[in-house]
Structure 1
Amino acid sequence: MSVWDSIVGQRPVVDMLAAIAAGDPSQLAQSWLICGPPGSGRSNMARAFAAALESPDHGLGAEPTKATREVLAGTHPDVTVLATNKVTIGIDEVRDLIEKAEQSPSTGPWRIIIIEDVDRMLERTTNVLLKEIEEPSERCIWLLCAPSAQDVLPTIRSRTRIVNLAVPPTDAVADHLVRTEGVDPALAAQAARLAEGHIGVARLYATDEQVRADRDELVAGVLKLARASDAVLLAGALIDSAKAQAEVAVAAQAAREEADFRRVNGLGPEDRIPAKLRGAFNQIGKKDELKRRATRGSRDVLDRALNTVASIYRDVTVLQNGAEASVGLINEEHRAAIARLAGRLDRQAAVACLDEVAVARRRLGGNGNPTLLFEALFCALLP
């Protein structure tokens, strides 16, 4: 298993980073900004690069080394990943990372710090990070991840080497699902198409029938919008669905973390937690933390819903411009209803609907009230 096996549709970047990892360490940049749209695999790319840097064979061997396995499993002592489920990354979290970055690596050649979603940092938090990025410790490498360089303050991006990822082709995503998840090829192709190349969302659609059904109901609901009451009801159903999906995901994550805690500490599923471990164990199910995760998860579901709504009007414009043969439809299952909508709207109105989705996305990103902003969006989409 190669360190790069989890990377989908990014061959030019993989070739470049693999060569850099195997090259002269003195020529290696110590601060990186890995950019790519949601689902492009930027976090997986950072982990794979870290594994190649820490491994004695630079990730080029036929079999994974101990270092490779540890980095990819998240257990390597010299590789730290900050992956937040909160809306923003806190200043105390970054200070902890900086303290760790100043320590020498214990087993590998580098101490590597990966920050996912660095764009979630507030400006004052980013300023704390700035000096460390500008002058990294001698044996430390920073791998920052963001949707684009423009989502990061100029002071940070000007001090990093930027790597840009592309949206993976849907056929590459489908093949990945078949190989790694054992998904039926037809379902994998459908999931990749609906996810528009987003690897994580494609995996979700392929493995969770309820999530796939919720998406289908949203598309049908938008296509049936006829009056304001429809918009209000559809917004309410979407908010309820987002909350339910987030709660299920958070509960599953907490269960996995509890199981990992027990395994690491040599405890069985029913064993009593020793008093000395109880404080750390209780942090897993801490109410405030679960609530924060659920809020973040709900926002992620709603952001995915906006992508779904946008895909409807993207398909409308495809039909209006006679481009179906060349680019295809995302929502093939609803082609007849989309064709009827394309006949009712002129091209300017279809573009205006896409603009309304963009407005809703900005409001959601600004912590706007989800119910109100989706009610406003669906009312704006009324024919």
Structure 2
Amino acid sequence: MASVGGVWAEVVGQDRVVAELAGAVADPTAMTHAWLFTGPPGSGRSVAARAFAAALQCPTGGCGQCQSCHTVLAGTHPDVREVVPEGLSISVSEMRALVQIAARRPSSGGWQIVVIADADRLTEGAANALLKAVEEPTARTVFLLCAPSDHPDDVPVTIRSRCRLVPLGTPPPPAIAAVLAARDGIDEETASWAALVCGGHVGRARRLARDTEARMRREQVLALPLSLRGFGEVFSAADDLIGSAEAEAADVAGSRDAAEREALSVAMGSGGTGKGVASAQRGAKAAERELERRQKSRATRSQRDALDRALVDLAGFYRDVLTTTLGASVPATHPDRAGDTRRAASTWSPESTLRRLEAVLSCREALEVNVKPRIAVEAMLTILYRG
């Protein structure tokens, strides 16, 4: 069995999962052609799948040092393809193209591997295209699917029944703090704080520990519950939440969008001469519209992901208030906001706190079904104000 080091070092706080996956790499009889990695956000579903893919292609089972390990983890291995939806869903055309490639024989590694990072975003057509491939796989093809759960709302039962389930749990704070300190060079105090307030999300812990703006956004969100003293604050807070999400999405997309537009311009013959330039430029408008569509979809997804992170923080605050009111002996989601939590618990009834918590969760659900963000957020904040 491979050691816990190598490619497995990135899989934080999941010793049981690492042992199972490393065992499958070492023992061909333990392998299967389709795996479903489930777990809450930040548990490391796609990280575990990627490490597994690297270990399968590695001559020594996941050393983390060879060319195969490096290229898989970098996303450049010719026999490993990872689907990370940039928009709101994974289309049927994208999945059909991927399935065709997956049916080929491996060119350099031992396996042809497909990693689907958000299988819960498959459209119905895409799921059907994937199902056929999973039902009749080629001998050296492996599908690694990642989703929040194996519930039919996330993964169709027909696909789930053909996969080996790998459930991941929420990594404990000490494990997160240890990896932040050892791998990212973050000081012990900051690493411990980030691990405690990240909600078990390793990526979020890293952002909070290293990004001043991420910490400021969190502070602004957690200041909201006790700052709503009138409807003026409600609409102002809605502007702030949505504006912050838009700004965060724009920061993520800015340089990438510009680079994609520049690359397309060159590909379409901008500044060139010769016989092929005119025909290439005739197709440029259609290509530009398609690029704009993809970038817009990606920006929408990024904005909603940023807004959802804020809602998760808010839900954690109201959860802390409720547990404080009821005297429950459970770890706080936001231990650094204990003063605000006690203040709110002394003012709000358990019923009003629960209504506020339900309003936040309902807002998350509304955004998932494409309700306009401003409408959903203003409705939520009205309930947060009224209680």
- Fold conserved between structures, TM > 0.5: yes
Aligned residue identity for 1:146:
A
1:11 to 15, 26, 43: 15
- RMSD between aligned residues: 2.5
Q: 1:295 is matched with which residue: 300, 305, 324? A: 300
- Work out whether residues 12 and 175 of structure 2, in 8 Å CA contact, stay in contact via their aligned partners in 1: yes
Code of the aligned partner of 1:341: A
Q: Structure 2 CA distance, aligned partners of 1:145 and 1:256?
A: 29
Aligned-pair identity in percent equals: 39
Corresponding residue for 1:311?
316
In 1, the alpha carbon distance for the partners of 2:80 and 2:363 equals: 37
Separation (CA, whole Å) in 1 of partners of 2:271 and 2:129: 38
Alignment of 1:285-364 (within 5 A): 286-323=291-328, 326-364=329-367
- CA shift digits 1:61-99 (9 cap, x unpaired): 4x6222111111111110011111111111111011111
1:99 maps to 100
Q: Which residue does 1:153 correspond to in 2? A: 156
1:210-237 deviations in Å (ceiling 9; x for gaps): 1210110111122211222211110111
Residue 317 of structure 2 aligns with an amino acid whose one-letter code is I
2:266 alignment counterpart: none
SS of the equivalent of 1:4 reads helix
Q: How far apart are residue 254 of structure 1 and its match?
A: 5.1
- In 2, Cα distance between equivalents of 1:246 and 1:3: 30
- Tell me the equivalent position of 1:377: 380
Contact 2:196 / 2:335 at 8 angstroms: preserved in 1? no
- Counterpart of 2:24 (choices 11, 20, 23) is 20
| Superposition deviation, residue 119 in structure 1 | 0.3
Counterpart for residue 79 of structure 1: 80
Paired residues for 1:212-291 under 5 Å:
212-253=215-256, 286-291=291-296
Using the alignment, how far apart are the partners of 1:128 and 1:110 within structure 2?
21
Alpha-carbon distance in 2 for matches of 1:102, 1:241: 44
Alpha-carbon distance in structure 2 between the residues aligned to 1:293 and 1:351: 34
Moved more, 223-232 or 237-246: 223-232
In 2, are the aligned partners of 1:223 and 1:338 still within 8 Å (CA)? Answer: no
1:16 aligns to what SS in structure 2?
A: helix
* Cα distance in 1, alignment partners of residues 148 and 201 from structure 2: 12
Asked whether the 8 Å contact 2:119–2:145 carries over to 1, the reply is yes
The residue that corresponds to 1:132 in the other structure is 133
Where structure 2 has 5 or more consecutive residues not aligned to the other structure, the ranges are: 264-269, 282-286
Q: Helix, strand or coil for the counterpart of 2:171?
A: coil
- Residue 269 of structure 1 corresponds to none
Offset of residue 253 of structure 1: 4.6
Kindly report structure 1 stretches of 4+ aligned residues shifted beyond 4 Å.
252-259, 272-276
**Equivalent position amino acid for 1:380 in 2:** I
* Residue equivalent to 1:110: 111
Alignment partners' CA distance in 1, 2:70 and 2:260? 19
The one-letter code matched in structure 1 to 2:160 is R
**Structure 1 CA distance, aligned partners of 2:197 and 2:38?**
23
